[in-house]
Structure 1
Amino acid sequence: MSDRADGLRHVEHVMGTVFSFDIRGAVTRDIRRALAEAVAWLHEMDAVFSTYRADSAISRLSRGESTVDRCPEVVAQVLELCAEATRVTGGFFTVTPGGRLDPSGLVKGWAVEHASRILYESGAHDTYVNGGGDLQLRGEASPGVPWRIGIAHPLSRDRLIAVVDGRDLAVATSGTAERGAHVVDPRTGLPASGLLSITVTGRSLTRADVFATAAFAMGDGARSWIASQDGYEAMAVTADGRTWQSDGFPC
């Protein structure tokens, strides 16, 4: 194993989706070890939080076969983050869809951000980590050049509605394009239908991912709500195909 000056890319199938890692610049042994650590950690978190695995800690907890105290410590940490997300979003983010415990709306963004942090702490300061379309960007794409991320139209994946430019930026999108109508409006108990997609940007992907899910559930109310969230911006496509964006959206 040797150092490289041209960067490193890696793709991993985990958490029911594809994680892409793009490390720019010199790649040291420490950075390679950190990438392996990040990938192993993602698989470990999948085993803990997967709602599709009957033996996962979160599935057993949801069925009442376990308690938080008997779960890995990280479960309590994530549920605490979820409780805070529910408070901040006024209940539009919830971990109990249909009466079943499911923190997936927070876990993926949180996992991407943590994997990105593992790389950063190893010395990889210019990185792109993408987990199923939710991204944590650190540093730059190249010296003096920000990362550029295309935002696809929810009805036409080969058409971009915007290109986001940024350094040290998180980008999260919630919508119907990939998983259909999967976000529930807690006011009605029915799938949210006011928006086709919403993309939220900010510093932390954990929060941006939660905000995107909650804002999608809010529908028309998302525009005024996101304006009250310091450091976070949004761009949305409405059900009738119109677009709107907050004043500071980075495109």
Structure 2
Amino acid sequence: MSVVDEATGGPADPRIPELAHRSFQALGTTVGISAPLEPDELDAAVETVQRIFLDAQTSFGVDGQGPVESLRRGDIELRYAHRRLRALYEQATVWRQATDGAYTPHTSTGPVDLSGLVKGWAIAHAGQAMMDLQLPHWSVTAGGDVLCSGSPFPAEPTGTDPFYGRHWRAGITDPFDPATLVADVPLAGTPGFTAALATTSTGAGAGPNAYLQVSVLAEEIVTADVLSQAIMAGGESTLEAAVRDFGVAVLVCGHDGELLASSTWPLQQSA
């Protein structure tokens, strides 16, 4: 999934800098930062976000290495893990209860596995850092997930445009053809209020899951990320519970390629 700019023009207000982009590698994926900022302002924000992802990489690990992997292999017990890892496990157990076990912080054979929370943790902290820097318009993407606030091309709200300028847009790729989008999703629109989109995919022909791909649109990224994993594991009943209990929007792709969307899913889609 990638943030997609709308085709027309630049900033609505000439006093607002043009949309700028930066990217770096962390947690085994590409992290992207976009914001309508002057280059030095954006670079300063990116430095902060990089520190957060480096912290996540050091504290939790990546690519089969580090404390998370040691827990999964059973090399260390949770009670001997460092405080931040135990706190992440506590967060995971709350989600296990909230999803009736569809999301679990354990492997199928029992050991603790927190790898499904690390990326969301980092993105969420990066978003909070952007807020703390008092930046109203920004987007953070990592490994197919996106969290954003405001607009890529900000403008004061009017009667015809109540959302401070055009929305950020995120494209969801077709699991059968990564070069094709199955949806083009509008995100955020109001400074200080975030929108998040997370997608979990098993890959064509893989696994016994009810769905091939699950995308969840929520206000914050950990909710979107966890629920996409839970729906992938729990199927239709978990999807219905997620929409009912958390107010999220969901788009799923079946193994036959059929797309099914919750009634809360945005109407603006492109096949």
Q: Which moved more, 1:207-216 or 1:124-133?
A: 124-133
Aligned residue type for 1:170: A
- State the 1:99 CA deviation: 2.6
* CA gap 1:121/1:91 in 2 versus in 1, 3 angstroms: same
Pairing 1:194-213 to 2, within 5 Å after superposition: 194-213=210-229
The answer to whether the 8 Å contact 2:28/2:62 transfers is no
- Aligned positions of 1:81-160 closer than 5 A: 81-97=91-107, 98-143=109-154, 144-160=165-181
2:220 counterpart of 1:220: no
Structure 1 residue matching 2:136: 3-state secondary structure = coil
Distance 2:33 2:136 in 1: 13
Cα distance in structure 2, aligned partners of 1:203 and 1:101: 27
Structure-1 residue corresponding to 2:31: 19
Q: Distance in 2 between matches of 1:52 and 1:94?
A: 20
1:185 matched to which residue of 2? none
CA distance in 2, matches of 1:150, 1:52: 26
Query: Which gives a bigger RCO, structure 1 or 2 (Cα 8 Å, sep 6+)?
Result: 2
| Matched position secondary structure for 2:197 | strand
Partner of 2:162: none
Aligned twin of 1:176 = 202
Distance of 2:52 and 2:62 partners within structure 1: 17
* AA matched with 1:13: Q
Extract unaligned runs of 5+ from structure 1. 182-190
Contact 1:6 1:27 in 2 (8 A): no
Identity of aligned residues (%): 23
Task: Kindly provide the amino acid, as one letter, of the partner of residue 220 in structure 1.
Answer: E
Q: Give the TM-score, by structure 1 length.
A: 0.84
Cα 1:70–1:152 change in 2 (3 A) is closer
Secondary structure of 2:256's counterpart equals coil
In 2: Cα distance, 1:160 partner to 1:222 partner? 25
Choose which of 232, 235, 244 in structure 1 pairs with 2:251.
Answer: 235
Measured against aligned partners, the alpha-carbon deviations of 1:202-240 in whole angstroms (never above 9, x if no partner) come to 101011100000001122334422322333110011122
**What CA distance in whole angstroms lies between the structure 2 residues aligned with 1:222 and 1:151?**
21
The 3-state SS of whatever aligns with 1:90 is coil
Change in Cα spacing, 1:204 to 1:104, as seen in structure 2 (3 Å) is: same
CA distance in 2, matches of 1:28, 1:123: 15
Q: Secondary structure of the equivalent of 2:105?
A: coil
- TM-score (structure 2 length as normaliser): 0.78
CA 1:157 to 1:70, structure 2 compared with 1: closer, same or farther past 3 Å? closer
Structure 1 residues 123, 17: CA separation in 2 closer, same or farther (over 3 Å shift)?
A: same
What is the CA–CA distance in structure 2 between the aligned matches of 1:196 and 1:218, rounded to whole Å? 12
How big is the shift at 1:61? 4.3
> Could you tell me whether the CA contact under 8 Å between 1:35 and 1:119 is conserved in 2?
no
Distance 1:230 1:53 in 2: 32
